[in-house]
Amino acid sequence: MIIAVSSLDNIIRDLVIANRILAKEDVVDAYGHVSMRHPDNSNHFLIARSVAPELVTADDIVELDLDGQPVGDEKRTLYLERFIHAAIFETRPEIMAVVHAHAEDTLPFGIADATRLRPVIHSGSFIGSEVPVWDIADNFGDTNLLVTNMEQGRDLAKCLGGNNVALMRGHGFASAGRSLIEVVRMSVYLPRNARALLRAKQLGGRIKYLSQGEIDARNRGYSPYSTETWRAWEYWANRAGCGHLLTRPEG
Ligand SMILES: [Zn+2]
């Protein structure tokens, strides 16, 4: 197995691309964020300062520790909800990238308990068969619904468990991936899967979800730099106007 080795500059460039893709694909707007575990220090992660993802450049990327605090002298304002990322990286050592967003199509499934969000389309298989719903009110009562400290972040990470995505009641979702491309892909297809399921419910009758065997078959042999995965990343990056920033690691 060839391990892809990237310089920190390339990693930061990939994170900029991820920000722009998520904005272009309507996963994030002025709010929402994407992070990557630091390649050289697993106790740190990289995320933009408090700025809309569409506007993120390499200079906006800051390095935080697993308490969500800046490493070194950082005076710029940070995302209020950076604790989502810190807590998931702390809880899940295998996770390399995290997205938090408020994508509208996912919201009904965090509010109504009649229908669980599960994969119904092939590209939705990446969200996994179980998508838990986290309700901040369960342990924290009346809040502004934002995850603004480690205690809340850890509670969310606990609800996420070993799954890929957790919905956040009345707020959005958090997704966790083993690579940046994986978490971006998951976060792009999550709202689309949600939209397809919502529309199917409107048509009525029995819903045919993807079976566990189908989900497993889709996920088998996944590689972040396979031709098929790269094809999507390259497409999205170009759509987002940052195709010139692409670097494809070996492997
Ligand atoms: Zn949020």
Distance in Å, CA 154 to ligand 1 centroid: 15
Question: Which active-site residues does the annotation give?
Answer: 81
pLDDT at residue 220 in the model: 85
Q: CB under 8 Å, gap of 24 or more: what pairs does 79-83 form? A: 79/33, 79/47, 79/48, 79/49, 79/50, 80/50, 80/146, 80/148, 81/33, 81/146, 81/147, 81/148, 82/33, 82/35, 82/47, 83/147, 83/148, 83/149, 83/150, 83/152, 83/153
pLDDT at residue 5 in the model: 47
Q: State which residues of the chain have pLDDT below 70.
A: 1-6, 250-251
Distance in Å, CA 101 to ligand 1 centroid: 6
Distance in Å, CA 24 to ligand 1 centroid: 18
pLDDT tens digits, residue range 28-66? 999 999 999 999 999 999 999 999 999 999 999 999 999
Distance in Å, CA 170 to ligand 1 centroid: 10
CA-CA distance, 22 to 190, in Å (whole number)?
12
pLDDT at residue 251 in the model: 53
CA dihedral 203, 208, 214, 216 (to 10 degrees): 90
pLDDT at residue 228 in the model: 86
Distance in Å, CA 211 to ligand 1 centroid: 31
Q: CB under 8 Å, gap of 24 or more: what pairs does 219-225 form? A: 219/125, 219/126, 222/182, 223/251, 224/178, 224/179, 224/180, 224/181, 224/182, 225/4, 225/181, 225/249, 225/251
Q: Give me the residues near ligand 1 (ion), CB cutoff below 5 Å.
A: 81
pLDDT at residue 7 in the model: 87
pLDDT at residue 247 in the model: 85
Distance in Å, CA 200 to ligand 1 centroid: 27
Q: Classify the C-alpha dihedral 110-214-222-155 as positive or negative.
A: positive
pLDDT at residue 55 in the model: 97
| pTM beyond 0.75, yes or no | yes
CA-CA distance, 5 to 250, in Å (whole number)?
8
pLDDT at residue 250 in the model: 63
Please give the backbone phi and psi of residue 152, each rounded to the nearest 5 degrees, phi first.
-70, -40
Distance in Å, CA 146 to ligand 1 centroid: 6
